[in-house]
A = this chain, B = another copy of it.
Amino acid sequence: MITFALPDSIQKLISELTKFPGIGEKTALRMILFGLRGDLVFFKNLGEAFISVYENIRICKRCFNIAEDELCEICKDPKREEGILCVVEDVGDLISIERTGQFSGRYHVLGGLVSPMENRRFEDLRINELKNSVLLYKITEIILALNPSMEAEATALYIKDFFKDLNIRITKIAHGIPMGSDIEYLDEVTMAVAIKERRELE
Protein backbone atom coordinates (compact mmCIF):
# COMPACT_ATOMS: atom_id res chain seq x y z
CA MET A 1 0.00 0.00 0.00
CA ILE A 2 2.76 2.44 0.93
CA THR A 3 4.51 3.17 -2.34
CA PHE A 4 6.64 6.02 -1.04
CA ALA A 5 10.22 4.97 -0.41
CA LEU A 6 10.20 4.95 3.38
CA PRO A 7 13.58 4.32 5.01
CA ASP A 8 14.39 0.61 5.42
CA SER A 9 14.24 0.65 9.20
CA ILE A 10 10.73 2.16 9.12
CA GLN A 11 9.53 -0.35 6.54
CA LYS A 12 10.91 -3.21 8.60
CA LEU A 13 9.16 -1.93 11.72
CA ILE A 14 5.87 -1.59 9.83
CA SER A 15 6.14 -5.17 8.60
CA GLU A 16 6.76 -6.40 12.16
CA LEU A 17 3.93 -4.35 13.69
CA THR A 18 1.40 -5.51 11.11
CA LYS A 19 1.89 -9.08 12.35
CA PHE A 20 -0.35 -8.13 15.27
CA PRO A 21 -4.01 -8.84 14.53
CA GLY A 22 -5.93 -5.64 13.86
CA ILE A 23 -2.85 -3.57 13.05
CA GLY A 24 -2.68 -2.66 9.37
CA GLU A 25 -0.07 -0.59 7.57
CA LYS A 26 -1.89 2.66 8.26
CA THR A 27 -2.14 2.01 11.98
CA ALA A 28 1.50 0.91 12.15
CA LEU A 29 2.59 4.05 10.33
CA ARG A 30 0.45 6.19 12.63
CA MET A 31 2.12 4.58 15.66
CA ILE A 32 5.57 5.24 14.22
CA LEU A 33 4.74 8.84 13.29
CA PHE A 34 3.51 9.38 16.84
CA GLY A 35 6.89 8.19 18.10
CA LEU A 36 8.79 10.34 15.62
CA ARG A 37 7.03 13.48 16.90
CA GLY A 38 8.61 13.00 20.32
CA ASP A 39 11.98 11.86 21.57
CA LEU A 40 13.43 8.96 19.56
CA VAL A 41 14.49 7.36 22.85
CA PHE A 42 10.88 6.12 22.95
CA PHE A 43 11.79 3.65 20.18
CA LYS A 44 14.87 2.51 22.05
CA ASN A 45 12.90 1.91 25.27
CA LEU A 46 10.18 0.02 23.42
CA GLY A 47 12.75 -2.07 21.59
CA GLU A 48 14.51 -2.96 24.81
CA ALA A 49 11.19 -3.82 26.46
CA PHE A 50 10.33 -6.25 23.66
CA ILE A 51 13.77 -7.84 23.77
CA SER A 52 13.58 -8.13 27.55
CA VAL A 53 10.34 -10.11 27.20
CA TYR A 54 12.06 -12.34 24.65
CA GLU A 55 15.04 -12.87 26.94
CA ASN A 56 13.27 -13.22 30.29
CA ILE A 57 9.91 -14.84 29.74
CA ARG A 58 9.61 -18.56 30.11
CA ILE A 59 6.84 -20.96 31.01
CA CYS A 60 6.22 -21.87 34.65
CA LYS A 61 7.23 -25.51 35.00
CA ARG A 62 4.39 -26.19 37.42
CA CYS A 63 1.32 -24.46 35.97
CA PHE A 64 2.53 -23.27 32.50
CA ASN A 65 1.69 -19.64 33.23
CA ILE A 66 4.21 -17.04 32.00
CA ALA A 67 7.11 -16.60 34.39
CA GLU A 68 10.56 -15.12 34.71
CA ASP A 69 11.86 -17.87 36.97
CA GLU A 70 11.26 -21.61 37.05
CA LEU A 71 7.99 -20.92 38.83
CA CYS A 72 5.53 -18.10 38.11
CA GLU A 73 4.50 -15.47 40.65
CA ILE A 74 1.40 -17.48 41.58
CA CYS A 75 3.18 -20.82 42.04
CA LYS A 76 5.89 -19.05 44.08
CA ASP A 77 3.32 -17.51 46.42
CA PRO A 78 3.10 -19.62 49.61
CA LYS A 79 -0.20 -17.96 50.54
CA ARG A 80 -2.10 -19.56 47.64
CA GLU A 81 -4.41 -22.38 48.64
CA GLU A 82 -3.16 -25.89 47.85
CA GLY A 83 -5.56 -28.65 46.85
CA ILE A 84 -7.73 -26.63 44.45
CA LEU A 85 -6.67 -26.24 40.84
CA CYS A 86 -8.27 -24.00 38.22
CA VAL A 87 -7.83 -25.31 34.66
CA VAL A 88 -7.78 -22.63 31.94
CA GLU A 89 -7.19 -22.79 28.23
CA ASP A 90 -4.52 -20.09 28.04
CA VAL A 91 -2.66 -17.42 29.99
CA GLY A 92 -5.13 -14.69 28.97
CA ASP A 93 -7.94 -16.54 30.76
CA LEU A 94 -5.74 -16.99 33.82
CA ILE A 95 -5.06 -13.24 33.95
CA SER A 96 -8.80 -12.48 33.64
CA ILE A 97 -9.58 -14.72 36.60
CA GLU A 98 -6.71 -13.29 38.66
CA ARG A 99 -8.07 -9.79 38.07
CA THR A 100 -11.28 -10.66 39.88
CA GLY A 101 -9.29 -11.49 43.00
CA GLN A 102 -11.91 -14.19 43.71
CA PHE A 103 -9.72 -17.27 43.37
CA SER A 104 -6.97 -18.10 45.80
CA GLY A 105 -5.94 -21.56 44.56
CA ARG A 106 -3.53 -22.44 41.82
CA TYR A 107 -3.82 -22.85 38.07
CA HIS A 108 -3.08 -25.24 35.26
CA VAL A 109 -2.82 -23.82 31.75
CA LEU A 110 -4.07 -26.52 29.42
CA GLY A 111 -2.69 -24.96 26.25
CA GLY A 112 -5.77 -25.55 24.10
CA LEU A 113 -8.97 -27.54 23.80
CA VAL A 114 -9.83 -30.76 22.01
CA SER A 115 -10.66 -29.74 18.46
CA PRO A 116 -11.27 -32.19 15.60
CA MET A 117 -11.40 -29.18 13.25
CA GLU A 118 -7.90 -28.11 14.21
CA ASN A 119 -6.71 -31.71 14.55
CA ARG A 120 -5.97 -31.27 18.25
CA ARG A 121 -6.51 -34.39 20.31
CA PHE A 122 -6.87 -34.78 24.06
CA GLU A 123 -3.30 -36.13 24.24
CA ASP A 124 -2.03 -32.91 22.64
CA LEU A 125 -3.14 -30.88 25.66
CA ARG A 126 -1.08 -30.64 28.87
CA ILE A 127 -3.05 -33.50 30.32
CA ASN A 128 -0.29 -35.72 31.70
CA GLU A 129 1.16 -32.63 33.30
CA LEU A 130 -2.26 -32.00 34.83
CA LYS A 131 -2.36 -35.54 36.23
CA ASN A 132 1.16 -35.16 37.66
CA SER A 133 0.14 -31.92 39.39
CA VAL A 134 -3.04 -33.48 40.75
CA LEU A 135 -1.10 -36.34 42.30
CA LEU A 136 1.93 -34.34 43.43
CA TYR A 137 0.02 -31.48 45.08
CA LYS A 138 -2.83 -33.66 46.43
CA ILE A 139 -5.52 -31.79 44.49
CA THR A 140 -9.05 -32.45 45.75
CA GLU A 141 -10.94 -30.21 43.30
CA ILE A 142 -10.39 -29.24 39.67
CA ILE A 143 -12.36 -26.19 38.54
CA LEU A 144 -12.75 -26.08 34.76
CA ALA A 145 -12.76 -22.42 33.69
CA LEU A 146 -13.15 -22.84 29.94
CA ASN A 147 -14.81 -20.48 27.49
CA PRO A 148 -18.17 -22.04 26.55
CA SER A 149 -17.92 -23.92 23.24
CA MET A 150 -18.35 -27.39 21.76
CA GLU A 151 -14.61 -27.90 22.16
CA ALA A 152 -14.78 -26.93 25.84
CA GLU A 153 -17.64 -29.40 26.43
CA ALA A 154 -15.68 -32.19 24.78
CA THR A 155 -12.52 -31.33 26.70
CA ALA A 156 -14.45 -31.27 29.98
CA LEU A 157 -15.90 -34.71 29.32
CA TYR A 158 -12.46 -36.12 28.50
CA ILE A 159 -11.04 -34.65 31.70
CA LYS A 160 -13.91 -36.05 33.77
CA ASP A 161 -13.32 -39.48 32.26
CA PHE A 162 -9.55 -39.22 32.63
CA PHE A 163 -9.81 -38.63 36.38
CA LYS A 164 -12.73 -40.96 37.08
CA ASP A 165 -10.64 -43.39 39.15
CA LEU A 166 -9.27 -40.70 41.42
CA ASN A 167 -11.33 -39.40 44.31
CA ILE A 168 -11.45 -35.87 43.00
CA ARG A 169 -14.19 -33.29 42.58
CA ILE A 170 -14.46 -31.79 39.10
CA THR A 171 -16.52 -28.61 38.80
CA LYS A 172 -16.97 -25.96 36.15
CA ILE A 173 -17.52 -22.24 36.45
CA ALA A 174 -21.15 -21.14 36.28
CA HIS A 175 -22.56 -20.04 32.96
CA GLY A 176 -25.62 -17.84 32.70
CA ILE A 177 -26.70 -14.25 32.38
CA PRO A 178 -23.84 -11.80 32.92
CA MET A 179 -24.27 -8.99 35.44
CA GLY A 180 -25.59 -5.77 33.95
CA SER A 181 -26.99 -7.42 30.85
CA ASP A 182 -30.49 -7.01 29.47
CA ILE A 183 -32.56 -10.18 29.08
CA GLU A 184 -34.30 -8.70 26.06
CA TYR A 185 -31.07 -8.57 24.10
CA LEU A 186 -29.41 -11.74 25.36
CA ASP A 187 -28.50 -14.47 22.86
CA GLU A 188 -30.67 -17.60 22.92
CA VAL A 189 -27.91 -20.00 23.94
CA THR A 190 -27.01 -18.04 27.07
CA MET A 191 -30.71 -17.72 27.89
CA ALA A 192 -31.25 -21.46 27.41
CA VAL A 193 -28.29 -22.26 29.68
CA ALA A 194 -29.58 -19.78 32.27
CA ILE A 195 -32.95 -21.51 32.41
CA LYS A 196 -31.52 -25.02 32.40
CA GLU A 197 -29.03 -24.22 35.18
CA ARG A 198 -31.52 -22.33 37.36
CA ARG A 199 -31.11 -22.64 41.14
CA GLU A 200 -33.39 -22.49 44.19
CA LEU A 201 -33.58 -19.10 45.82
CA GLU A 202 -31.73 -19.32 49.14
Binding site for B on A (CB under 8 A): 1-10, 12-13, 16-17, 19-21, 29-37, 40-57, 66-68, 72-74, 77, 90-92, 95, 98-99, 101
Query: Across the two chains, which residue of chain B brings its CB closest to A17?
Result: B46
CA of A73 to CA of B8, assembled, Å: 10
Contact B36 A66 (CB under 8 A): yes
Interface of A is mostly: helix
Contact A9 B90 (CB under 8 A): no
Contact A46 B56 (CB under 8 A): no
Give chain B nearest CB distance to A56 CB in angstroms: 4
Contact B68 A3 (CB under 8 A): no
CA of A98 to CA of B3, assembled, Å: 8
Contact B47 A9 (CB under 8 A): no
Cβ contacts under 8 Å, A10 to chain B: 53, 57, 66
Give chain B nearest CB distance to A107 CB in angstroms: 11
CA of A77 to CA of B50, assembled, Å: 35
Q: A44 with B51: in contact, given A9-B56, A95-B4, A101-B3 (CB under 8 Å)? A: yes
Contact B98 A4 (CB under 8 A): yes
Cβ contacts under 8 Å, A20 to chain B: 31, 34-35
Contact B7 A67 (CB under 8 A): yes
Contact B46 A16 (CB under 8 A): yes
| Residue in contact with A5 in the complex, picked from B4, B41, B73, CB distance below 8 Å | B73
Cβ contacts under 8 Å, A6 to chain B: 66, 73, 95
CA of A34 to CA of B57, assembled, Å: 14
